[in-house]
Amino acid sequence: MTPPAVCIRDLTFRYPDGTMALQNLSLEVPPGARVALLGSNGAGKSTLLLCLNGLNDPAGTIEVEGVPVTRPNLAALRARIGLVFQNPDDQLFCPTLFDDVAFGPRNQGLPEDQVLTRVHDALHAVGLDGLEEKSAFHLSFGQRKRAALATVLSMKPGILALDEPSANLHPRARRELAAVLRAAGGTHLIATHDFDLARDVCDRAVLMWKGRVEAEGTVAEILGDRKRLEDVELE
């Protein structure tokens, strides 16, 4: 039997300034699921995604594809989980777009010819072919969002963890992004406020509230319950 893509048990995390960001959070994501993480500002979505990648050090256990997120496993895990930050300027730090998209595959130790095809395929998937030599600050915001996605697609991760991928995108860029995500394989965890994106891309939804899971279900179930959405200040 294949283990769940992500299995979280009793996760608790407090920021150094004392903010309780996650409290006894438990969650299981089956392999291949497309899960929307919904929740109002400050619900703990970004914090949770950072924990998945071993970038925060919470109490409790996280297993990714059956492997616990602990220091010795981090290198292998980070190759499996592609984490895209909310702000593309944090994600694109190399002199050229090519180097940014090649950064992950090179860290995985791939030979240069494979790196080349990975970069090419990833940029093609997000519709940025031919911009390899551009610097990130010469891209438009929508292009930067897609470039940020390409930087992890090139690593061929089994799990995509995306933080607000559609924030600040205009409707058309949003639709293009949804199409890219639908075409990308693997398990998806998408933290978002964008209900349309959740409907377009995801099959399941997890509603977070004050660092806990408030409800879980299909996207239609979660988004259909207006009363509950109001309770968690999403409507």
Ligand X SMILES: Nc1ncnc2c1ncn2[C@@H]1O[C@H](COP(=O)(O)OP(=O)(O)OP(=O)(O)O)[C@@H](O)[C@H]1O
Give the shortest CB-7-to-another protein separation in angstroms: 20
- Site residues for Mg ion, 10-49, by CB under 5 A, read 46
Residues 5-44 vs ligand X: string with x where CB under 6 A?
Answer: ----------x-x-x-x-----------------x-xxxx
Applying CB under 8 A, among 20, 55, 59, 220 the residue interacting with another protein is: 55
Q: Token pair for residue 220?
A: 């239609």
Give the shortest CB-150-to-ligand X separation in angstroms: 22
How would DSSP label each residue in 114-167?
Answer: HHHHHHHHHHHHTT-TT-TTS-GGGS-HHHHHHHHHHHHHTT--SEEEEESTTT
In sign, the C-alpha dihedral spanning 68, 71, 76, 81 is: positive
Cβ(216)–Cβ(206) below 8 Å = yes
87: contact with another protein by CB under 8 A: yes
Applying CB under 6 A, among 4, 47, 177, 206 the residue interacting with ligand X is: 47
Q: Token pair for residue 180?
A: 């890219």
**8-state DSSP, 24:** E
**# chain residues binding ligand X, by CB under 6 A:** 12
143: contact with another protein by CB under 8 A: no
Give the shortest CB-37-to-ligand X separation in angstroms: 8
Binding interface with ligand X (CB under 6 A): 15, 17, 19, 21, 39, 41-47
